[in-house]
Structure 1
């Protein structure tokens, strides 16, 4: 389906594309696996103040699930509060100009359906860099793997899913500002860190990248993080709004899945707003 900036959308659901490969396809198994990962998060790792935004990794759960759980554990006390999730991640499957909204009206996972927020989509489409593009979403795993965690932890909520392609950090920040909302809205950025480097080299590079993010300094390369563009858009918003970033977890696939010859880095961050 070609891109379009029309604010109309279809009533079909985007089916799960990576259930059974990136995460379990059976609902009970999936829910049990998420419960177990969350239970292993150290309580001291959870920030005292509720997060406005999170950065989470997006590989198969065997690789990055425990690190993602470190971020999602922050939402355990926010079940009744969060009603909208704005989810951004990089395009892996097709080339995308700007930011892509789906045509679908809902996203399905083995745990059920999540409606796309029509009002937030309308606001996002006020920006010329945002278009509807179902092809960008059809097989994209970076957004999908976040959804079961959200369904496990939150009550009824709507979703604004955006695949980020060739765009500037300023263009991403402009969209985030339009849909920022209040305590009812969570901003979620999906990104892994370095890719396919030896273990020790990846550790050093990812530590440097994590320090930049924690200091709200924009990343200079997608070699640091595949989601560098949406991360940088969030960092611009965080700078302007006085948010503080906290590193919750930093590991790689060599820590979680054993093979240390060529690893992928994963980090979890929470961004909190200044106390009023």
Structure 2
């Protein structure tokens, strides 16, 4: 069985399991819990930098999932391919992903569903060093326990192609979609704050992002926005900061936002009896 080994443990997050678990628990404890009246999210947008930089922002999206432990069984994680050119969306060709918190199985049935699609390829190389998906897994393991993973590295693709993949995997309450994306990169603090606020306004309005200058994961974000329009999901901004607010200097910062996409009441499967 091919297993994708942890590539950035000890770099982006702690390598030792107890330290990693304690770090995540501390971020969860500090995270704003949000409005408990909100229905469970169908999708999240979360950042993917090193935990000292973006971890607190990601934690604001993940901490409220504790009430869905045992309900969410599958997590679709889409992250930009930073190291290897990818045409379309790439599966890892692995049966599981390892982290210091244990092994996460890849959903083989979902992989079989995706393989016939022309925009989906298999590229172990695209996943081997990719951090954008890996850094989400310890958060998910900590809050959900056991789940199956559908990891997709997003390269040269259209928003429509991403939305088509999401539609195939949409499912019900058992399936969570996570889009991994940072916002602006290496701008002065005030410039970054202005651009990131505009980007968050676009996302809140379900308006497609115009450029990867707004978000490195803009392709996957835009695919999610198309799917959100179709399924009448409401974006809720949970946190918006940058590296200058967390662990970096303010000369050149990276922006981070966390969003939860919540079904409208009339379209929430949990409101219907069967």
Which of the residues 125, 132, 151 maps onto 1:142?
A: 132
TM-score (norm 2): 0.95
1:6-44 CA deviation, whole Å, 9 max, x = no partner? xxxxx1110000000000000000000000000001234
Are 1:102 and 1:161, in contact at CA under 8 Å, matched by a contact in 2? yes
Q: Which residue of 2 aligns with 1:253?
A: 243
Cα separation, partners in 2 of 1:47 and 1:140, compared to 1, 3 Å: farther
Are 1:107 and 1:116, in contact at CA under 8 Å, matched by a contact in 2? yes
Are 2:21 and 2:142, in contact at CA under 8 Å, matched by a contact in 1? yes
Pairing 1:176-255 to 2, within 5 Å after superposition: 176-255=166-245
Structure 2: any 5+ residue segments left out of the alignment?
267-274
Residue 61 of structure 1 deviates from its aligned partner by: 0.1
Cα separation, partners in 2 of 1:47 and 1:63, compared to 1, 3 Å: farther
Structure 1: any 5+ residue segments left out of the alignment?
1-10
Distance in 1, matches of 2:113 and 2:34, equals 38
Cα RMSD between the aligned structures? 0.9
Q: Which residue of 2 aligns with 1:15?
A: 5
1:31-89 CA deviation, whole Å, 9 max, x = no partner? 00000000001234566211000000000000000000011012111001000000001
Are 2:31 and 2:60, in contact at CA under 8 Å, matched by a contact in 1? yes
Q: Which residue of 1 aligns with 2:269?
A: none
What is the DSSP-based 3-state SS (H/G/I as helix, E as strand, rest coil) of the residue aligned with 2:68? Answer: coil
Q: Which residue of 2 aligns with 1:3?
A: none
Are 1:59 and 1:65, in contact at CA under 8 Å, matched by a contact in 2? yes
The number of residue pairs the alignment matches comes to 266
TM-score (norm 1): 0.95
Pairing 1:6-85 to 2, within 5 Å after superposition: 11-44=1-34, 48-85=38-75
Are 1:51 and 1:74, in contact at CA under 8 Å, matched by a contact in 2? no
Distance in 1, matches of 2:52 and 2:9, equals 13
Which of the residues 111, 127, 131 maps onto 2:117?
A: 127
Are 1:247 and 1:268, in contact at CA under 8 Å, matched by a contact in 2? yes
Are 1:103 and 1:132, in contact at CA under 8 Å, matched by a contact in 2? yes
Distance in 2, matches of 1:119 and 1:23, equals 30
Distance in 2, matches of 1:230 and 1:121, equals 18
What is the DSSP-based 3-state SS (H/G/I as helix, E as strand, rest coil) of the residue aligned with 1:63? Answer: helix
